Chains A and B, each alone.
Chain A
Amino acid sequence: MIATGQTLKAVEEVKGRSLWVDARRRLLRNRAAMASIIILGLITLLALLAPLLSPFAYDEVNYDIIACSPHWWPGETACRAPGHIFGTDSVGRDLFVRTLFGARVSLAVGLVATLVSLLIGVLYGAAAGYLGGRIDSLMMRAVDILYSLPFVFFVIILMVIFDRNFILLFVAIGAVEWLTMARIVRGQTLSIKQKEFIEAARAAGVGPFAIITRHIIPNVVGPVMVYVTLTVPGVILTESFLSFLGLGIQEPLTSWGVLISDGADQMESAPWMLLFPALFMAVTLFCFNFIGDGLRDALDPKDR
């Protein structure tokens, strides 16, 4: 008797590891992902503190120092602008501050558009998967149709129609990106829906909306989180694409896309104008990709 009691106690003392604790441990051990989180945090912090970090305003024009290199620039340049650590652009604005303000816009577009796509995609996918049958096939057929549309073209038309409205840019890109999200969530929902706890909830008289929001959505968080981290860089790229075509953010506000396309024009005479924004953007996109890969490895115990 005593022996059994002791074993029972011993069993109790072994603490169970939940999926999330396990996942966090795996993520913490992933060096690339952790480094990416830190770098991304730094870039975000720089972007938020941008006005405090430089004596220059982002829209302060100075015609005396047009397209001047930073003073430490190796190689010959037409002029140097001391104090401007990233140099100046083609109307003499400080490139350091503009790169950070560009980070604000690019990151904001990335996050907001991803949230829009998250909201639409998760609700749509969960509803389709949970309701099933005819409604499901109808809803997913609609997604298939939308998938075959050249979507960027619609965003371009939208941006032209609504005259480059800033808010609309967020919404338009988000409205484009929800399709994959809906597919992922639906697939997950289909498998979760068969589980006993859903049946129990249904037996207890919980309505479909409450089951979707309270029981199904919390259980699809894992794959959705992975996809979210991979959507953000996609959105940032889309925004920069539109900006390159002259349909994105408007002056004097700026984004990495605008800065890069300006820089690409002046690449021969003023390479720093391309280098710094492109570097910031590439590093950010790298970070998101590494975090996404890390999360996927952490949350998917199959591939350990």
Chain B
Amino acid sequence: MMAYALRRLLGAIPTLLVIVTVAFFMMRLAPGGPFDSERRLPPEVERNVKAAYNLDKPLTQQYLIYLGKLAHGDMGPSYKNKDFTVAQLILIGLPVSARLGLSAMALALLAGTALGVSAALKQNRWEDYSVMGVAMLGITIPTFVTAPILTLIFGIYGVSLFGLDLSLPVGGWNGGALRNMILPVTVLALPQIAIVARMMRGSMIEVLRANYIRTARAKGLSVSRIVLGHALRAAALPLVSYLGPALAAILTGSLIVEQIFGLPGIGRYFVLGALNRDYTLVMGVVICYATLIILLNFLADIAYGILDPRVRLS
């Protein structure tokens, strides 16, 4: 087990290297540089600026310099936000994005599992059809449509129920207050809730037909004990391998959600950085995201081995 974990972690290094390399050369082959602007700099100044950032050296040498610095955790200065290094910007943005993403992930897993299991227990009845219909809606309606609609309902019109004010702030982070998190997290989680619910329903239906479930029923166990004690663990296996893609989808969605709700996360840095050709910032964010995804895939594999004794991690 430990040996496997160690090997997987070492195996992640070449993957990261590939990502860094591809991202680096893609950004550098792009026409236009970070210091192109309407106002031409005097040639000497431009030369000095480029020399300061090593942009005057051959491409391969720039690449090696970048790799060397990266190995020490130095992602260089941001070309556009002159007062910050990339590492500083990411440290500012990451906590926001991480809280947003992890909350959305947790919500998706909990709500999706609950919905999927209840649909599977009522297979082919109205409960099942309505859950699956809503799930289909969740998959087909993009985030940037649900966000403004929910904003309009809860933020601008304001909803009150039994005299209770349910209106929510429509943007801003406000230090991560719960009220500010509800809308973005919900919007981000909705498509994933739908996908998780569909997956859970499918695998639950399959597991409920298994012989050992019939045995459990014959023993006279209650439905809740059968589901929670026997079926859920087996049915959740496909979900574990979906964790990696789910994180990728949530990170992608966070680009939009951070934009719409004006949250200061790293997704916004990425979009702005790409549009401004802020090479180092974009690279930093891509490396950060890739590391997160690789890490989660690794954890998912380990979890799979623990949950399913048939899988030997070797």
Contacts and interface: CB of A to CB of B under 8 A. Distances in A.
Interface stretch (A72-80, A150-158, A197-205): A150-158
Given A149-B19, A156-B271, A274 B289 contact: no
Nearest to A285: B140
Contact of A286 (B140, B256, B290): B140
Nearest to A271: B152
B23 to A, nearest CB: 7
Contacts of A240: 142, 144
Given A148-B294, A150-B252, A286-B136, A157 B27 contact: yes
B144 A261 contact: yes
Contact of A145 (B18, B31, B248): B18
B306 interface: no
Interface in B258-302: 259, 270-271, 274-275, 277, 282, 285-286, 289-290, 293-294, 297
Contact of A264 (B140, B144, B285, B294): B144
B140 A245 contact: no
A206 interface: no
Interface in A97-152: 145, 147-152
Interface string B223-254: 00000000000000000000010001001100
B259 to A, nearest CB: 7
Interface size bracket, B side: 35 or more
Interface in B30-63: 30-31
A282 interface: yes
Contacts of B29: 161
B252 A260 contact: no
A152 B148 CA distance: 22
Contact of B144 (A153, A244, A282): A244
A274 B251 contact: no
Contacts of B27: 157, 161
Given A160-B30, A233-B140, A148 B256 contact: no
A289 interface: yes
A160 B274 contact: yes
Contacts of B142: 237, 240-241, 244, 260, 281
A267 B31 contact: no
B26 interface: yes
A251 interface: no
B268 to A, nearest CB: 11
Nearest to A243: B144
Contacts of B14: 145
**Dominant SS among interface residues on chain B:** helix
A241 B139 contact: no
A153 B289 contact: yes
A64 interface: no
A282 B141 contact: yes
B277 A150 contact: no
A218 to B, nearest CB: 28
Interface residues of A, number: 32
Contacts of B9: none
B26 A153 contact: no
Interface string B104-136: 000000000000000000000000000000001
A158 B19 contact: no
Contact of B145 (A156, A158, A264, A286): A264
B22 interface: yes
B152 A267 contact: yes
Given A160-B30, A268-B152, A150 B294 contact: no
A268 B148 CA distance: 9
Nearest to A286: B140
Contacts of A244: 142, 144, 256
A267 B105 CA distance: 28
A57 B159 CA distance: 41
A153 B22 CA distance: 12
A278 B145 contact: yes
Nearest to A233: B140
B94 interface: no
Given A260-B145, A274-B148, A152 B252 contact: yes
Interface of B: 14-15, 18-19, 22-23, 26-27, 29-31, 136-137, 139-142, 144-145, 147-149, 152, 156, 244, 248, 251-252, 255-256, 259, 270-271, 274-275, 277, 282, 285-286, 289-290, 293-294, 297
Interface of A: 145, 147-154, 156-158, 160-161, 233, 237, 240-241, 244-245, 260-261, 264, 267-268, 274, 278, 281-282, 285-286, 289
Closest 8 interchain pairs by CB? A285-B140, A161-B30, A264-B148, A150-B289, A152-B252, A244-B144, A160-B274, A145-B15
14 contacts: A145-B18, A148-B15, A148-B294, A149-B290, A149-B293, A157-B282, A160-B274, A160-B275, A241-B142, A241-B256, A245-B255, A260-B145, A267-B149, A285-B140
